Amino acid sequence: MDELTQLIESAKADFAAAQQPAALEDAKARYIGKTGAVTMLMKELGKLPADQKRARGQAINAAKQAIEAALNERREAIANAALEAKLAAEAIDVTLPGRSGHTGGIHPVMRTWMRIEEIFRSIGFDVADGPEIESDWFSFTALNNPPNHPARSMQDTFYVDRQDGNGMQLPLRPHTSPMQVRYARTHTPPIKVIAPGRTYRVDSDATHSPMFHQVEGLWIGENISFTDLKGVYADFLRRFFETDDLVVRFRPSYFPFTEPSVEVDMAFTTGPKKGRWLEISGAGEVHPNVIRNFGLDPEKYIGFAFGSGLERLTMLRYGIDDLRLFFEGDLRFLRQFN
């Protein structure tokens, strides 16, 4: 093997040994860099006799070209290997089964809320919403509660640490009835509205939660009687429970804001709960003093109001016996409704 062929072979071996671009450039310098072996041979050309120069020059050039070709080939191979390694490191296994997203569900009390809105909308009721931090006036005074009424007491009602313009501490509304007043004062009769929402009372056991839901109903016109209350409410229950197999009873009771006042009880006439009376709502004809606080003339306007517990309706509909299940967030319970 002549000197030039040896040089080419040696360069190829060095290039092959280089694993990184920097090592490859070092190897290149040893052969075709400024002081590289091939470059040195070129410089020595001048010392040769004229008749040998041409052939020797061509041979050295050919060797240089062979080395450059080997260098470029190796450069490409190193770059390709780097790319392969990068792709392998970032590889996504597209054959892995996907992680499915979690589908949310609707809380059973919320289902009741939505059903009630749907039923009352279908018979021409508006749906209204109002503040949970209420004033004393809307919560009690406007609803004909005397100043010393026990509902105002700290034992029954939660208060926030803030006062209104009259120096009265602000309650968390203990019922949705303030919405009767808020709505009636901003609308003209006939007034037909329900107001579902959260309510708060100092109460906590298997059938009471400090936060619960009510739906207020109000229908005021020139001749809306107790008969209308009976018809509307009984019809609502039949649609809500999707059965005609139930009976409704209006039992005399007392609320400051209605006269006469009743508790509405219902019982199923078939099924496992047959014959058991359950209280589901307060109701009555709106008291003339409250009509006056609506800004209306009680000689002209009359109508009914009711306030029903959404948890109670939900428990009856699904046969749930502990109200606390609604607020624990246990997915085993909640998934049954979705």
Task: Report which residue type is found at 113.
Answer: W
CB of 297 to ligand PHE, least distance (A): 20
CB of 208 to ligand PHE, least distance (A): 12
Q: Is 28 in the site for ligand PHE (CB under 6 A)?
A: no
Q: Where are the alpha helices (H) located in the chain, listed in sequence order? A: 3-17, 21-32, 37-44, 50-89, 108-122, 136-139, 178-186, 226-240, 288-293, 310-318, 325-328, 331-334
Cβ count near 59 (within 10 Å): 15
Residue number, 24 or 302, with CB nearest to ligand PHE: 302
For ligand PHE, which stretch binds (CB under 6 A), given 12-20, 68-76, 271-279, 301-309?
301-309
CB of 308 to ligand PHE, least distance (A): 8
The residue within the footprint of ligand PHE, chosen from 15, 31, 306, 326 (CB under 6 A), is 306
Q: Is 74 in the site for ligand PHE (CB under 6 A)?
A: no
Residue number, 219 or 326, with CB nearest to ligand PHE: 219
For ligand PHE, which stretch binds (CB under 6 A), given 190-198, 202-210, 233-241, 302-310?
302-310
CB of 304 to ligand PHE, least distance (A): 8
Q: How far is CA 238 from CA 118, 171, 266, 278, in A?
A: 14, 35, 10, 15
Residue listed under structure tokens 């499915």: 100
Contact string 232-261 vs ligand PHE (x = CB under 6 A):
-----------------------x--x---
Rounded Cα distance between 115 and 106, Å, is 12
Rounded Cα distance between 241 and 229, Å, is 18
How far is the first Cα of the chain from the last one, in angstroms, to the nearest whole number?
85
Residue number, 12 or 287, with CB nearest to ligand PHE: 287
Q: Is 197 in the site for ligand PHE (CB under 6 A)?
A: no
Cβ count near 98 (within 10 Å): 6
Q: Is 178 in the site for ligand PHE (CB under 6 A)?
A: no
Contact 257, 293 (CB under 8 A): no
How many contiguous H segments (helices) and E segments (strands) does the chain have? Answer: 12, 9
The residue within the footprint of ligand PHE, chosen from 112, 144, 307, 326 (CB under 6 A), is 307
Q: Is 36 in the site for ligand PHE (CB under 6 A)?
A: no
Residue number, 32 or 157, with CB nearest to ligand PHE: 157
Sign of CA dihedral 136, 137, 139, 145: positive
Residue number, 137 or 333, with CB nearest to ligand PHE: 137
Q: How far is CA 183 from CA 22, 129, 199, 239, in A?
A: 81, 9, 17, 26
Rounded Cα distance between 161 and 287, Å, is 31
Footprint (CB under 6 A) of ligand PHE, residues 277-296: 282-284
Q: Is 141 in the site for ligand PHE (CB under 6 A)?
A: no
Q: Is 305 in the site for ligand PHE (CB under 6 A)?
A: yes
Rounded Cα distance between 20 and 22, Å, is 5
Q: Is 139 in the site for ligand PHE (CB under 6 A)?
A: no
CB of 132 to ligand PHE, least distance (A): 14
Residue number, 9 or 203, with CB nearest to ligand PHE: 203
Please state at what angle helix 37-44 crosses helix 3-17, rounded to 10 degrees. Answer: 160
Rounded Cα distance between 296 and 98, Å, is 63
For ligand PHE, which stretch binds (CB under 6 A), given 10-18, 115-123, 221-229, 305-313?
305-313
The residue within the footprint of ligand PHE, chosen from 135, 177, 293, 314 (CB under 6 A), is 177
List interacting residues with ligand PHE (CB under 6 A).
175, 177, 255, 258, 282-284, 305-307
